[in-house]
Structure 1
């Protein structure tokens, strides 16, 4: 895990010039700061936010600084709103190069606050999951199409950078679940996006003083060091613009008010994850073991019948003979 000093966060920012950035939740907080920083380095910014006035204010701030930006109303849980956001980018600037699904919320009502009606529990509100997970999945699904649309060269900068979390947050299990899911999505998508030369990464900020944090939680966190919003925005730009293939698929961690840390994908497999990964690999490699073949034939017989299972045995014996052909040749001499 390597630290990335503040002065290195914008080391590759010249690659952002004339790139089109679609970012949700940019009316305030991390999204607004990221939009301003992208524009500062010459990117064209397309803002989608449910807060129409706030989104437009961010766009006007970009323009006042000499940049290019447009804003539109976008409820990320509404598929049609998101489609129109990406279509706005194409209609205005002709392409989509970087997607940052930043919009997010925390629990309005604690998950463990069970409300009873006529003595029975009522259905909990899942708005946090709707925004932080379903909304992000919508953005990702659209990114898979629009990042490739009107692409001139395969080696041109394309990136999908998401906001995740590393910690379990008390009284916010839905927020925690949604942000952990985003990390899982990134890990699952990394290889096939890399094949298309599309960068992907997750930003994991510690608590930051933004409007997403409810006042009671802010009081609880009083005195605790928080990740500076400009540094979080810098991490987003760095993850998007870094040309290193090795850094693709990384998580970028801000643990407190200290520097950004790059967590390489290889380090996701330490501790208990390493044990799980090792067991999974052994199961896959067990495909060459006798126990695997026995279980395979048994399962095939159960599913398709004995005749097909017998054919399977013949194929397995042939495969074993082929895999061990050198040994069999020596024994025959």
Structure 2
């Protein structure tokens, strides 16, 4: 695990000039700061958010500073809204280069509290936190798999940067759905990495500790009084760095912001230590067996295609020859 000092988070800013960034949830907080940072270095930003007033204010701030941005009203749980957001990016700017599915909520579903109906039976729980933080993000990711390829040229910068949390790694008492969604985000990134890397697309996930944003409920802020929170500009810097770093070794990484300290980079191979290592070793062993079975299946399939019925004759002949040989050996042993 290596750390990334603040003064290098934006060192690859020249790569972003003229690129198109699609970001959800940028009407305030981390998303707003990130959108402004990208725009300040010459990126064209497409903002999708339910908060029209906040989204338009972010666009206005960017334009006043000489940047380019457009707002699209977008509920991340609406496929049509998200599709419109990506189509706007293509129609207005011609491409999609960086996608940041940032929109998310804290635990709003009260999953740990069981509500009973009039007859005393448990009612179906509301899974709003999981819907927004996972299903909405999956919609954005799925669309990005298409739109990052539109008008793509060899060597173009293409990135998909996800937003996790410390809850991707540790339990949050009373926030089971939030922790579930953020654990899932880390797993999604790890699963996407091998395929996207082959396509020339960077992928990573940012894991901030609690930050002073509207997503953190007031009671939690009170409970955290005296504990350093993660600065929002540093989180935006981590997103920027993860998206723009040209070093292939920094692809597929997790980027941790543990409190008010520096950004830490976790390389893919460092996910395979301790319990993770044990699981990885056993999974790899099972995979080798599966690969072996697939290999022999392919051999048999190709031989059948080449020889057809002759293969059956050869197989039967081989079996009969083996039986004859075994009997010969048995008879020889008896004579001796």
The reply to whether TM is greater than 0.5 is yes
> Which has the greater radius of gyration?
2
Structure 1 residue aligned with 2:189: 186
Residue 79 (str. 1) matches residue 79 (str. 2): yes
Structure 1 residue aligned with 2:198: 195
Pick closer, same or farther for the CA change 1:288–1:187 going to 2, 3 Å.
closer
Pick closer, same or farther for the CA change 1:184–1:288 going to 2, 3 Å.
closer
Structure 2 residue aligned with 1:150: 151
> What do you get for the CA RMSD once the two structures are aligned?
2.0
Structure 1 residue aligned with 2:221: 218
Alignment partners' CA distance in 1, 2:81 and 2:289: 48
Structure 1 residue aligned with 2:258: 255
Matches within 5 A, 1:1-333: 1-118=1-118, 119-151=120-152, 153-165=153-165, 166-286=169-289
What does the per-residue CA deviation read over 1:213-250, in whole Å, with 9 as the maximum and x for residues that have no partner?
11111112222111100000000000000001111000
Pick closer, same or farther for the CA change 1:287–1:156 going to 2, 3 Å.
closer
Once the two structures are TM-superposed, the CA of residue 113 in structure 1 deviates from its matched residue by: 1.3
Alignment partners' CA distance in 2, 1:288 and 1:84: 42
Pick closer, same or farther for the CA change 1:71–1:280 going to 2, 3 Å.
same
Once the two structures are TM-superposed, the CA of residue 16 in structure 1 deviates from its matched residue by: 0.5
Alignment partners' CA distance in 2, 1:283 and 1:201: 27
Moved over 3 A (4+): 285-289
C-alpha contact 2:20 2:93 (8 A) present in aligned 1 = yes
C-alpha contact 2:109 2:128 (8 A) present in aligned 1 = no
C-alpha contact 1:160 1:198 (8 A) present in aligned 2 = yes
| Other structure's SS at 1:238 match | helix
C-alpha contact 2:18 2:42 (8 A) present in aligned 1 = yes
Pick closer, same or farther for the CA change 1:109–1:136 going to 2, 3 Å.
closer
Alignment partners' CA distance in 2, 1:248 and 1:88: 28
Alignment partners' CA distance in 2, 1:123 and 1:252: 36
Q: Which runs of 5+ in 2 are unaligned?
A: 298-311, 320-336
* Farther off after superposition, 134-143 or 212-221: 212-221
What does the per-residue CA deviation read over 1:185-221, in whole Å, with 9 as the maximum and x for residues that have no partner?
1111101101110000000001101111111111122
What does the per-residue CA deviation read over 1:42-84, in whole Å, with 9 as the maximum and x for residues that have no partner?
1000000000110000000000111000001100011000000
C-alpha contact 2:44 2:67 (8 A) present in aligned 1 = yes
C-alpha contact 1:154 1:196 (8 A) present in aligned 2 = no
Once the two structures are TM-superposed, the CA of residue 110 in structure 1 deviates from its matched residue by: 2.5
Once the two structures are TM-superposed, the CA of residue 284 in structure 1 deviates from its matched residue by: 2.7
Alignment partners' CA distance in 1, 2:51 and 2:170: 28
Once the two structures are TM-superposed, the CA of residue 285 in structure 1 deviates from its matched residue by: 3.2
Once the two structures are TM-superposed, the CA of residue 91 in structure 1 deviates from its matched residue by: 1.1
Structure 2 residue aligned with 1:326: none
C-alpha contact 2:112 2:176 (8 A) present in aligned 1 = no
- TM-score, normalised to structure 1, is 0.85
Once the two structures are TM-superposed, the CA of residue 150 in structure 1 deviates from its matched residue by: 1.1
Structure 1 residue aligned with 2:331: none
C-alpha contact 2:29 2:213 (8 A) present in aligned 1 = yes
